[in-house]
Amino acid sequence: MAARNGAQFVEGLRQAPRETWISGRKVTDVTADPAFKRPVQAIADLYDRQAADPATMTCSEDGETFGATFLTPKSHADLVKRRGAMKVWADSSFGLVGRSPDYLNTIVMTWAEGADFFGQRGAHFADNVRNYYKLCRANDLFLTHAIVNPQSDRSRGSHQQDDAFTHLGVVEETKDGLIVRGAKMLATHGPTADELLVYPQPGIREGEERYVLAFGIPCATKGLKFICREPFDDGTQNVFDHPLGARFEEPDAVCVFDDVLVPWDRVFLYGDVKMGNALFSQASIRNHTGHQTAIRGLAKCQLITGIAVALTRAVKSDTFLHVQEQLGECLGYLQLIEGAIELAERKAEPTGRGAIRPAYAPLQSLRYHLPKWYERMVQVTQVLAAGGLLISPTEADLNSPVGPDIRKYYKGAAVEAEDRIRLFKLAWDATGTQFGQRMLQYERYYAGDPVRVAAGYYNDYDVTPLLDAVKRALAGAR
Ligand SMILES: Cc1cc2nc3c(=O)[nH]c(=O)nc-3n(C[C@H](O)[C@H](O)[C@H](O)COP(=O)(O)OP(=O)(O)OC[C@H]3O[C@@H](n4cnc5c(N)ncnc54)[C@H](O)[C@@H]3O)c2cc1C
């Protein structure tokens, strides 16, 4: 069933009940629950988009047709193909669905392409990774991931927490697989995905072997439960008042493992601190996920900049010089993002195994800067919209006895009141509501801690040419 449509995705979820907790309720069929129906639909819409445009969204290899974001790129054209598919998905949700399927499709692709890394501890681990990629690709599965330990006590290692299994760790090895216990955060679209991936992040210390784990299991696995944050939309928000939040909310969840069996064929890495710390840099993860997240982030930045332009035009504040300056600043960021994506593709490097990957440096630089530019765009939008953001009545008010007053006093410059209200609601939903604030927090943290991202960038960077220039300047040379 390669390259699914929306209905097939929804049916897959329906047939695989998972243990999910939200607002004090236990939910197993997320396709029928009001809190999850819309998030499920948002992902189903992406799969429908894929089915409607197979030329852009799919490709074929050895007689199998599959989603293009599973493609292992071997040429610049392949990278462009991947970008085209990712941009279609990003544009269709304005980049607001952060964990669209292409994110983890990309990760399993990089793992399979670099499977030898996993094979260092035994060839079967490399086989497991390759087989898992084939399974995900052939069935077009939607994956979520939880790779962060719970914020219990960040000053202590996993093995030093009060309870040895606060952080997810191995309880025992059995003939069938590993028994794991503890928690991981923060699985966006956790309860609404087919499969859950767990893998280690750098920063693991000696003594933490039992916490070094990479595996993939169905979300509908016995003993695994998802505990969701309070939803912003309980399924009843209307699209007029919450034009984004009523359509694009992503559930976020902590994953709790109560002695879950991870079968051996689903174990990719286990017990090796050095490998756990090296995984990110060794398996091209950073390059390819940086490519996907930059393309997705570009769509989101384009939306927010467009909103800032539209709302200033609606009240003609864009006639003022300082307003134009701020809009120009945001438009400039869009160019820098596009430029870095193209540079990464142009400077793509061989993996040494017959494939290529986009260059690391431009994308990792975006990983740090894009969230800051996005934050600035949010600030510009809020500052330029000013009090206009906090006067919008509801659709119900427009249809009430005060409707005529609203139509008179809420007009813009050549914009009818209803259109102006819709635009300012869009701006508030993108920047100020609970939904908008999550969108900001997502950009800040979805790719890890920005402090460590930038410090790692410095530590990995080849500064030799820069220091050579300093030497030449000191020597009076050119
Ligand atoms: C909306 C949203 C969606 C997300 N979706 C996902 C997802 O789908 N899957 C997933 O796995 N994760 C997801 N994440 C989690 C994300 O990966 C983490 O938030 C991120 O890695 C930062 O970790 P943390 O939140 O635990 O912060 P912490 O690591 O606890 O950091 C908190 C603060 O303390 C400082 N700090 C903590 N420890 C150290 C240290 N050792 N050295 C230096 N400074 C330190 C940091 O600089 C930071 O300012 C999501 C996060 C958000 C906000």
Domain ranges in the chain are 1-283, 284-474
Paired sense of beta strands 195-198 and 143-145, if any: parallel
Does the beta carbon of 442 sit less than 6 angstroms from any atom of ligand 1? yes
| CATH 1.20.140.10 fits domain 284-474 | yes
Does the beta carbon of 441 sit less than 6 angstroms from any atom of ligand 1? yes
Mean pLDDT of the region 2-12: 95
Residue 262 pairs in a beta bridge with: 178
Return d(Cα 260, Cα 126) in angstroms, integer: 22
Task: Tell me the CA end-to-end span of the chain in Å, nearest whole number.
Answer: 62
Return d(Cα 142, Cα 139) in angstroms, integer: 9
Does the beta carbon of 218 sit less than 6 angstroms from any atom of ligand 1? no
Q: How far is CA 64 from CA 1, 77, 134, 140, in A?
A: 10, 19, 11, 12
* Ligand 1 atom at minimum distance from 145 CA: 9
**How many helices and strands in the chain, by DSSP H and E?**
18, 14
Segment 214-250, tens digit of pLDDT: 999 999 999 999 999 999 999 999 999 999 999 999 9
Q: How far is CA 228 from CA 70, 320, 389, in A?
A: 28, 45, 29
Segment 173-225, tens digit of pLDDT: 999 999 999 999 999 999 999 999 999 998 899 999 999 999 999 999 999 99
pLDDT exceeding 90 applies to what percent of the chain? Answer: 95
Question: Where is pLDDT greater, at 284 or 297?
Answer: 297
Does the beta carbon of 293 sit less than 6 angstroms from any atom of ligand 1? no
The superfamily CATH assigns to domain 1-283 is Butyryl-CoA Dehydrogenase, subunit A, domain 2 (2.40.110.10)
Report the mean per-residue pLDDT for the chain: 96
Q: How far is CA 439 from CA 70, 98, 249, in A?
A: 26, 9, 9
Domains 1-283 and 284-474 share a fold: no
Does the beta carbon of 449 sit less than 6 angstroms from any atom of ligand 1? yes
Mean pLDDT of the region 251-267: 98
Does the beta carbon of 146 sit less than 6 angstroms from any atom of ligand 1? yes
Query: Residue 136: which of 45, 222, 70 has the closest Cα?
Result: 70
Any idea what the Cα angle at residue 218 is, between residues 134 and 277, rounded to 5°? 75
Mean pLDDT of the region 19-41: 97
Segment 428-478, tens digit of pLDDT: 999 999 999 999 999 999 988 999 999 989 998 999 999 999 999 999 987
Read off the pLDDT band of 1 (50, 70, 90).
low
Q: Is the pLDDT of residue 303 over 90?
A: yes
Does the beta carbon of 154 sit less than 6 angstroms from any atom of ligand 1? yes
Q: Is 181 helix (H, G, I), strand (E, B) or coil?
A: strand
The amino acid occupying position 402 is: V
CA atoms within 13 Å, Cβ hemisphere of 98: 24
Who's near 335: CB < 8 A, 6+ residues apart?
Answer: none
Any idea what the Cα angle at residue 267 is, between residues 199 and 123, rounded to 5°? 110
Return d(Cα 180, Cα 260) in angstroms, integer: 5
Place of tokens 């790779």: 147
Q: How far is the CA of 449 from the centre of ligand 1 (A)?
A: 5
Mean pLDDT of the region 86-106: 97
Q: How far is CA 369 from CA 302, 353, 372, in A?
A: 15, 31, 5
Q: What is the CA radius of gyration of the chain?
A: 24
Return d(Cα 179, Cα 260) in angstroms, integer: 5
DSSP string, 164-176: TTSB-EEEEE-SS
Supply the residue whose CA is at minimum distance from atom 46 of ligand 1: 449
Return d(Cα 100, Cα 340) in angstroms, integer: 21
Segment 385-403, tens digit of pLDDT: 999 999 999 999 999 999 9
Q: How far is the CA of 312 from the centre of ligand 1 (A)?
A: 35
